[in-house]
Chains A and B, each alone.
Chain A
Amino acid sequence: MTVRKTKHEMPEQKPKDRIKNFKEVPYGYDEKTAIEEAKRCLQCKDRPCVIGCPVEIDIPGFIKHISEGDFDKAVEVLKTKTSLPAVCGRVCPYENQCEGECTLLKIGEPVAIGRLERFLADYEKNKGVKIPKKGKPTGKKVAVVGSGPAGLTCAGDLAKMGHAVTVFEALHAPAGVLMYGIPEFRLPKKIVEAEVDYIKKLGVDIKYDIVVGKTITVDELLHDYDAVFIGTGAGLPRWLNVPGENLDGVYSANEFLTRVNMMKAYKFPEYDTPIKIGKVVATFGAGNVAMDSARTALRLGAEKSYIIYRRSEKEMPARDEEIGHAKEEGVIFKLLTNPKRFIGDDKGLLTQVECIKMKLGEPDDSGRRRPIPIPNSEKKIDIETAIIAIGQSPNPLIPKTVKGLKIGKWGNIDTDEDGRTSIPGIFAGGDIATGAATVILAMGAGKRAARAIDKYVKSKK
């Protein structure tokens, strides 16, 4: 039997249609295609794909069940390791992880593991999600700070173990970046809400409007609860630090995306929060956040949406799929280009950005080739909106307000493999510990911390 060399296509909205709406771009596999795709898997004995997955999902295991048409069993296998499969199946950078290790790469494309995961999650959703049995109540209480993927996963696992869990969230909505950052067209908020609902049905209580460090301190939580998990993410936007960055028209990607996603500015004035972008938008950076911003700008009606990035296409950190989608939709890539200053009119409105051309030199600390400016290559580009998407740092609010908590070089909370911090009873994980990373890594950290917390609270009198 010969194996098909390419993944089965996943149908999706046409670029010219989708840039006019915020609906999800891909439609997902139907049952028949999922089974066909699952049959491509060789069921390798050494399971390289599993090694590539940060939470070690039994990939050949769930794929086998799909190929046999037993989706319920497949879901069961999948869910032993991930509590947010509908999310991971959509946003996981699988090309560098599970799929990046797949044996089939030797002859062509890997098994579409991500698409199969997404298929299963959607299958389960349509059928009605079964709530797993909870463990016997242990009488222990755990506080979780932040409801991003790290916090939600940790909370869900602890609840399953029988602990009473309360999540404290600063904003009025759950799920962190999944809600305020990643746009509707890539991760529908209904899906996120359903995942949160699942966690709530496990018995987790989520309290909103609680800015820990302000409304209540970690010390107070530690007094009232047997342990505290901190999953407050990497919410602090980084800036280019060039002149004119405070002009009217320059947004951080966080502000831009929060206005559009969480506050639903794309439905203004039905929703009260406004956004204004003009005709030409430039996004600085080339990661997932930048692609999300540039594609969102098109959907808000921008006639031109640029990605301005100082290195070349090869160094762009975004997922391949996002870069591909952005190109199809008409995002214009200005590579090897670095902003020097923003220029405004006499009213302080952004009108232009002056950029300089770059070339690549020797590799730097990150292993990527260092961009070097080419003298006298400055050029001005007319823009009305600038979105700065060059990265986020750990949110400093908690590190600053907990005395004695060991902080790392980048303002992150220092932890061991299992999320233990320098203070007994305080655990941390996700972007707050690692710096901006990925959903699946945050989930993995939440899972490991849940196990460590379980051990810790049981050992406590």
Chain B
Amino acid sequence: MYKIVEKKVLSETVKLMKIKALLVAKKAQAGQFIILRIDESGERIPLTIADYDRKQGTITIIFMEVGKTTKQLGTLNVGDSLLNFAGPLGAPSEIKNYGTVVCIGGGVGIAPLYPIVKALKEKGNYVISILGARNESLLMLEKEIKSFSDELYIATDDGSKGQKGFVSDVLQQLIDEKREIGMVMAIGPVIMMKVVSDLTRKYGIKTLVSLNPIMVDGTGMCGGCRVSVGGETKFACVDGPEFDGHLVDFDNLMLRNRRFICEEEESCKLAGV
């Protein structure tokens, strides 16, 4: 059992939890994730390691309540426990000095971006962060990310904070200003990662994205998480979750992520969440 030792409500649908998981905390690195199961009848769901504390032996997760499991998770409190918590899974981010990096986080993708921003800054990069969300209330971790960024931009769909528009608009401006960009890291909704990758491809800027396909085991056994990268089939749980954005077949990922939509809705309805 893995105890919840801290809980914060970041917005109406986004929550942060610190979970006691000694072994995972010992090994966790930026870019990796965990798979948890709340109880005996629960589903295994993957969540990014948003932060870790090796001394306290805790892992921070930040999740958006989108379906049965994440909503149920949101109702748990400090002192409650999760039945299963396995990790750290996936390959860590390739953290090195690229010169100037642009880190783009969209929606709940801001959470997994945070440890990467931190690690890239610590490696001596000049970090430009761009955070985007539908509106101000969905923005998170702004302060934390700012403290590790040399520049921070914000874009909201409705203009309630920062620039009105998309994160890709901000990136376009940076490119138009002829800023030297060594690497772009983009994490967020699939469509956002696709738009960013399409943009940087035109300029030949290296771009990494972190993919979120449906997973089951997280050990490379089931192949449910497979994604098409450069025409090859890769398993996101062991080969990823980060891949070269210019090679990813985003359309296929979007379609595969809709696989169980009807069942998930049914599950939520029955659970009354």
Contact = CB atoms under 8 A, between A and B. Distances in A.
Given A170-B86, A246-B252, A248-B259, A258 B43 contact: no
B134 to A, nearest CB: 25
A20 B227 CA distance: 35
Contacts of A275: 263
B264 interface: yes
Contact of B267 (A170, A171, A274): A274
Contacts of B31: none
A232 B113 CA distance: 33
Dominant secondary structure of chain B at its interface with chain A: mixed
A216 B88 CA distance: 10
Given A246-B252, A395-B221, A397-B238, A259 B84 contact: no
B68 interface: yes
A236 B271 CA distance: 34
A252 B43 contact: no
B223 A214 contact: no
Given A271-B41, A272-B267, A274-B264, A258 B86 contact: no
B189 interface: no
Contacts of A251: 223-224
Interface string A165-204: 0000011100000000000000000000000000000000
A268 B220 contact: no
Contacts of B233: 239, 245-246
A211 B84 CA distance: 12
A248 B253 CA distance: 10
Nearest to B27: A215
Interface string B230-264: 00010000100000000001011001101110111
Interface residues of B, number: 46
A214 B86 CA distance: 10
Contacts of B222: 237, 252, 254-255, 258
B220 A396 contact: yes
Contacts of B251: 348
A237 B238 CA distance: 13
Given A272-B43, A348-B252, A397-B219, A255 B87 contact: no
A255 B223 contact: yes
A214 B270 contact: no
Contact of B41 (A259, A270, A348): A270
A239 B267 CA distance: 31
B220 A246 contact: no
A214 B224 CA distance: 20
A194 B256 CA distance: 38
Given A252-B222, A254-B222, A255-B224, A215 B87 contact: yes
Contacts of B84: 172, 208-209
A252 B85 contact: no
B221 A274 contact: no
B67 to A, nearest CB: 9
Interface string A224-266: 0000000000011101000001111001101100110001100
Contacts, number: 120
B87 A347 contact: no
A273 interface: yes
Contacts of A170: 86, 217, 219
Contacts of A139: none
Given A258-B216, A274-B260, A269 B267 contact: yes
A234 B115 CA distance: 34
A210 interface: yes
**What is the size category of the interface that chain A forms with chain B?**
35 or more
A269 B271 CA distance: 9
A210 B23 contact: yes
Nearest to A388: B223
Interface in B57-110: 68-69, 83-89
B118 interface: no
Nearest to B259: A248
Given A211-B89, A248-B259, A236 B221 contact: yes
A276 interface: yes
B83 A172 contact: yes
Interface string A2-21: 00000000000000000000
Given A215-B23, A246-B228, A263-B43, A397 B220 contact: yes
B255 A248 contact: yes
Contacts of A263: 43-44, 216
A215 B24 contact: yes
Contact of B86 (A209, A248, A270): A209
Contacts of B42: 272
Given A172-B37, A210-B86, A259-B216, A252 B259 contact: no
A403 B42 CA distance: 36
B121 interface: no
Contact of B221 (A258, A270, A347): A258
Contact of B219 (A239, A245, A269, A395): A395
Given A235-B221, A248-B255, A214 B267 contact: no
B217 A171 contact: yes
Contacts of B252: 246, 348
Interface string A313-342: 000000000000000000000000000000
Contact of B255 (A210, A347, A396): A347
Of B219, B223, B228, most buried by chain A (CB within 10 Å of CB) is: B223
B263 A268 contact: yes
A269 B270 contact: yes
B18 interface: no
27 contacts: A171-B217, A209-B86, A211-B86, A211-B89, A214-B27, A214-B88, A215-B24, A215-B27, A215-B86, A235-B221, A236-B221, A248-B258, A248-B259, A252-B222, A252-B223, A254-B222, A258-B217, A258-B222, A263-B216, A272-B69, A273-B216, A275-B263, A276-B260, A348-B251, A396-B238, A397-B219, A397-B238
* The 4 A-B residue pairs with the shortest CB-CB distance in the complex, in nearest-first order: A274-B263, A348-B255, A235-B221, A255-B222
Given A239-B233, A274-B264, 7 more contacts: A172-B44, A172-B86, A215-B27, A248-B256, A263-B216, A348-B251, A397-B220
